[in-house]
Amino acid sequence: MHKSHSFYEEALIDAIHEPTQLKSVRLISAGTMNQSVLLDTDKGALFLKSNHLNSPDMFQQELKGLTLLHKHAPLQIPKTIGAGRIASQNYLLIEWIHGGYPNSDYWNNLGHGLAELHMATSPKYGLSEDNYIAILPQRNAMNENWADFFASERLEPMIGKAYYDGLISKDFYKKFQMIYDKLDGLIPNEKPALLHGDLWSGNVIVNPKGDPCLIDPAVYYGHREMDLAFSKLFGGFRSEFYEAYNEIFPLEPDFKTRVDIHNLYPLLVHLNLFGLSYLPGIKKVIKKFV
């Protein structure tokens, strides 16, 4: 363990506000960004995620995102317990979801559930507060136009960071920006939809009943095709999922032709987080549309 039990005990007191007995701690993962552990307590099994990053509101924003999903999604969302900062460590404490195996309705339920989530709407794209995608700041200044929001709050901050950090040349930065004026003509106009925001297979887990459960959101009101496109980026979603989604909330024609446009955002996120291996995919999309 990289942390003494005292940190976990402090987090339990800070989040629950009453004495809680910590029986044992089991490491789940210890990545470059976060450490995750299973806490066995007298109040049941709890999941605690922590890091030392200088972003004290990171997990509070994730907690708010989970709460918003829980309000609008028919799918299981882990119950939130608390989030905060103890000394130099941020933490998030939520319900532990015991794993299971997908049941026969798993992909249908996920498709139907996501479609119902996307029916939650807002007058504008964005969110009342900025939040994070992974450990990167995600701007959410509200806008009535999706193309403008996508360009100013999603693409430009990420391509700008890549340029500032020396990951791309000035020439490519300027070429990339040429796509902004094309977005309105490429993406159909729709009402803002409540998005999970980071919908890849690793952020959908199976509960003990075999049903899907959503975790690690980066919520905002956006174009619903963003979630569907992101689900295709790293695989893991079966065709039944998309068929079930379309039964409830049919996509506009030619969605497949727009997937690459939407996925510029998660590709830029991965470029900034993990490096140059994601740049060729971005350049390929820009070459296709610019």
pLDDT tens-digit series, residues 200-215: 999 999 999 999 999 9
- Let me know whether 272 and 231 are in one domain: yes
> Which of 95, 129, 150 finishes a domain?
95
DSSP string, 95-120: E--------TTHHHHHHHHHHHHHT-
- Residue 23: which CATH number? 3.30.200.20
Whether residues 10 and 46 fall in one domain: yes
Average pLDDT over residues 239-250: 98
User: Same domain for 91 and 186?
Assistant: no
Range of the domain at 84: 5-95
Tokens for 181, please give them.
Answer: 């004026």
Instruction: Report yes or no on 44 lying in a domain.
Output: yes
Say if residue 36 is in the same domain as residue 165.
no
Residue from 184, 198, 211, 254 carrying the catalytic annotation: 198
Is 198 a known active-site residue? yes
134 domain residue, yes or no:
yes
Report if pTM > 0.85.
Answer: yes
Domain boundary among 95, 128, 148: 95
Q: Where are the alpha helices (DSSP H) in 17-105?
A: 58-72
Q: In this structure, are 178 and 224 located in the same domain?
A: yes
Cα–Cα dist 195/224, whole Å: 7
Are the C-beta atoms of 275 and 250 separated by less than 8 Å?
no
Please give, one letter per residue, the 3-state secondary structure of 206-246. ECCCCCEEECCCCCEEECCHHHHHHHHHCCCCCHHHHHHHH
pLDDT band at 4 (very low <50, low <70, confident <90, very high): low
Domain total of the chain:
2
Rg (CA), the chain: 20
Residue 1 confidence (pLDDT) above 60? no
Residue type, 41: T
Q: Residues 146-175: pLDDT tens digits? A: 999 999 999 999 999 999 999 999 999 999
Please say which residue of 74, 95, 116 terminates a domain: 95
pLDDT in tens, 267-282: 999 999 999 999 999 9
